[in-house]
Amino acid sequence: MSTRSGGPLPPHPTPTATATATTPTATPAPQAAGTTLCIRLSAAYLRDVERADGSARSQAELEGLVVFALVSTLWRPRPGTDVPGGLVSGVADYARLRAGLAPPHWTRSPSIPSPDDDDNDHDHDPWASGFSTVAFFLDWVDTHVCRDVVPALTAALVLASGSSQWSPALWEAITGVPLAAAWTAYQQDLLADVAAQRRALHMSPVGPDGLPVYEYSADMAAVDPAAAAHFRLAIPDPVAWLAEATAGALRALYAGREADAPRHIAGVRLVVRDFDGVAHTVDAAIPVHGAAGAAGNGTRPGKAIHVSVRYMASVFERVGQNVELLRREMDGVMLHEAVHVVQHNGFGSAPGWFVEGLADLVRLRGGLAPPHWTRQRGGRWTDGYSRTAYFLDWLEPAQTETGTWTGIGQRVQQLNATLAMQPWTRGLFEQQMQIPAGHTVASMWDRFQASLPAS
């Protein structure tokens, strides 16, 4: 994710520089025609930086914002050149980066399109995010593709002697590489770096089965003991319950491919609370207990599964106060959430329908489908949850033609493993799930629907 360092850029004249302090970040102020530029800076913002990170960081932030504002003004493309705004803000942050004034929260992160209802196959505009995202891209191009790319763009688009108009063809003429190809190569480099860092970040040890062994804990402090009565009745040992579900999710996704299991998380915490809903999984900080390789702030990355005692109480009544049936339902819920702890998601690009459908597939294949799940016609594969789970189950049956049990399926396992290394696309899904030639996900969904009984 890129972090914005400057605000909107209004029209302004050729500058020298003065400064006042009024706005949240550094922004060239509107000026009458002349030669003086007023850069507005927020004193309150800089004081907040100083309180949080010290006077040296505040001074560096001040200098970085001034550089951003000055370059935003000086790097003003000639009228009619149609230069994307994201390129302008990116050049300004590029100058800040090259001046050694990048703030510590800037990171070279893959720019992954947000998941939508279907896929992420649409083209991504390299300039869409602007600011530090583009700055890091320009820096990479300068290092790996074409030296002095920014001065060349300046000569073509900014200087009075230039005569060019912005276009991808201009980029290719300057760098020798099509813009889309350069952006793709840059993203692949970033993804490879992230994947390598995750592989190297071995927070958790490995057990005899080759799978990670996480630290487990349970927190019931936020729930009234009376409200937690049904939970304690069905789950007498919460930590063992959490560990068993997580181990089951690991086996389902990584049996036979243990090296793909995530070891960059240190532990999993169960949080039992009273809230609307069923359960959800979030990132969490796991406290350090003298572990090697711990982060400097006293925590390590992990996950937390929140479970609702309100939901458990409703299930308890629905099943006629049968503790065994309550436990079975909650075993299924916990297995679903444990999949979210250990599954890969293409750096956040996998669509929700697949993320939730995979979790319910593991629950289905684990024999923990609740009574209300049914294979019936209707909906779309993008509905997620059990509807998607049954579709995945049909695409790769639980047993081969010779009767061999496939677990959740080698194709699904491979797709999940691939999402540790690269972002989601519909083409990737179709390839990994071995959609037959001449078919698409949509046509296979139609065939699946035709195989089901009418509602």
Each residue's pLDDT tens digit, 282-325: 999 888 664 444 444 577 889 999 999 999 999 999 999 999 99
Q: What is the pLDDT of residue 211?
A: 95
Q: Is the pTM of this model over 0.85?
A: no
Q: What is the pLDDT of residue 400?
A: 56
Strand partners, 300: 286
Sheet holding 279-287, edge to edge: 215-219, 267-273, 299-308, 279-287
CB atoms within 10 A of CB 334: 25
Query: Residue 109: which pLDDT band, with cuts at 50, 70 and 90?
Result: confident
Specify whether the CB–CB gap between 33 and 15 falls below 8 A. no
Specify whether the CB–CB gap between 355 and 419 falls below 8 A. no
Q: How far apart are the first and last CA of the chain?
A: 44
Query: Residue 399: which pLDDT band, with cuts at 50, 70 and 90?
Result: low
Query: Residue 1: which pLDDT band, with cuts at 50, 70 and 90?
Result: very low
Helix, strand and coil content of the chain, in percent to the nearest 5, comes to 45, 10, 45
Question: Rounded to an integer, what distance in angstroms lies between the CA atom of residue 71 and that of residue 88?
Answer: 9
Residue 299 carries which DSSP code?
E
Q: What is the pLDDT of residue 24?
A: 42
pLDDT above 50 for 349: yes
Question: Rounded to an integer, what distance in angstroms lies between the CA atom of residue 416 and that of residue 260?
Answer: 9
Chain-wide mean pLDDT for the chain?
Answer: 85
Specify whether the CB–CB gap between 278 and 311 falls below 8 A. yes
Sheet holding 17-20, edge to edge: 17-20, 37-40, 27-28
Exposure on the CB side of residue 67, measured as CA atoms within 13 A = 22
Query: Residue 67: which pLDDT band, with cuts at 50, 70 and 90?
Result: very high
Question: Rounded to an integer, what distance in angstroms lies between the CA atom of residue 106 and that of residue 94?
Answer: 12
Strands in 160-296 per DSSP E: 215-219, 267-273, 279-287
User: What would the pLDDT profile of 421-430 be if each residue is shown by its tens digit?
Assistant: 888 989 999 9
CB atoms within 10 A of CB 209: 13
Burial class (CB in 10 A: 0-12, 13-18, 19+), 335: buried
Question: Rounded to an integer, what distance in angstroms lies between the CA atom of residue 381 and that of residue 392?
Answer: 9
